[in-house]
Amino acid sequence: MDAAHVDDDLVEVLFTEKQIHDRLGELAADIERDYDGKDLLIVGVLRGAVMVMADLARALGRHVEMDWMAVSSYGSGTKSSGVVRILKDLDTDISGRHVLIVDEVIDTGLTLSWLTSNLNSRNPASVEICTLLRKPEAQQMPVQARYVGWDIGEEFVVGYGLDYRENYRNLRDIGTLAPHVYS
């Protein structure tokens, strides 16, 4: 759906579908350059990273393997619960592999710092992070994202895979959710 379908629920559209695709194209070019001559496994963090994975993978002009993990760090609200659990593990043995974790947003950084050390304990050749969005708090965590689409503010955003109570994931654009929706 388009922003017009949920107009009353959004304070503003932050990034349009076109802007997102263009930015992912730039990140894909960086990734191609950095992993030239190396095999690459991209790992999407379900469910939010589905759209980013689909478009980033297709923007890559090279072979890439895709695998998925599901972790839970949030309840059903807008604040992190602080607890990370693996709901679905990788199907791939990543020892000796170059792994790029793909996520849609880093908020506290809790999920990805936990996930990075979990994957690093499996003896991969490397583990890096690509995230479409990054919030300010993430700067305080020991999690370094090598590829970042945009740094944004602290507001809660939805669309392009990002949900509020499982809705808005299928919104083409990314927008700031109006407080009246969750308060």
The residues of the shown chain that bind Mg ion, judged by CB under 5 A, are: 45, 48
Nearest to 129 by CA among 150, 92, 105, 102: 102
Helices 17-34 and 50-59: crossing angle in degrees, nearest 10, is 60
Q: Of 12-20, 26-34, 104-112, 120-128, which segment contacts ligand IMP by CB under 6 A?
A: 104-112
Determine, following the binding rule CB under 6 A, whether residue 118 of this chain makes contact with ligand IMP.
no
CA–CA dist 177, 13 (Å, integer): 9
Encode burial over 158-167: b for 16+ CB neighbours within 10 A, e otherwise.
bbbbbbbeee
Q: Which residues contact 56 (CB under 8 A, 6 or more apart)?
A: 24, 27, 28, 31, 42, 102, 130
Catalytic pick among 9, 55, 103, 107: 107
Rounded to a whole number of angstroms, the minimum distance from the CB of residue 132 to ligand IMP is 10
Question: Out of 16, 19, 80, 118, which residue is the one contacting ligand IMP (CB under 6 A)?
Answer: 80
| Interface residue with ligand IMP, options 31, 106, 130, 174 (CB under 6 A) | 106
Helix (H) / strand (E) containing 57: helix 50-59
The answer to the question of residue 52 lying near ligand IMP (CB under 6 A) is no
Among 52, 105, 145, 171, binds ligand IMP (CB under 6 A): 105
Binding site for ligand IMP (CB under 6 A): 48, 73-74, 80, 103-111, 156-158, 162-163
